[in-house]
Amino acid sequence: MGTGLLLMAGCAGTVYTSGGAGYYAYDYYPDWDVYYYPNDRVYYWYDGGHWRSGHRVPGHYRLDVHHREQLQLHSRQPWMEHRPERPEFQEHYRGDRR
């Protein structure tokens, strides 16, 4: 399987608004720093110094739905708001940290 494409553009989809601010709903897998955008069925992950995307993650990623967080981000580009030091996710990390 390929490693995906270098991601330069954001994804399109439903924007949830609250008081004028738009939010994009993602599932986040803190074990591997993977974002999933269900509207487009696209995953985003960090690999080889670049954020990549695809309809599947590489085979060595083992995403656990029990360690999934639902996030509402301001950006259509989840890597722009990526913060691996978030304390609520510290106990989950297995992937490499950035």
Supply the pTM of this predicted model: 0.65
Let me know the angle formed at the C-alpha of 67 by 74 and 49, rounded to the nearest 5 degrees. 60
Let me know the angle formed at the C-alpha of 13 by 62 and 70, rounded to the nearest 5 degrees. 40
d(CA 4, CA 76): 18
End-to-end CA distance of the chain: 24
Res 45 pLDDT > 90: yes
Interval 11-23: pLDDT, tens:
334 444 445 557 8
Contacts of 72 (CB under 8 A, 6+ apart): 16, 23, 24, 25, 26
Residue 33 pLDDT: 87
Burial class of residue 86, CB neighbours in 10 A (0-12, 13-18, 19+): exposed
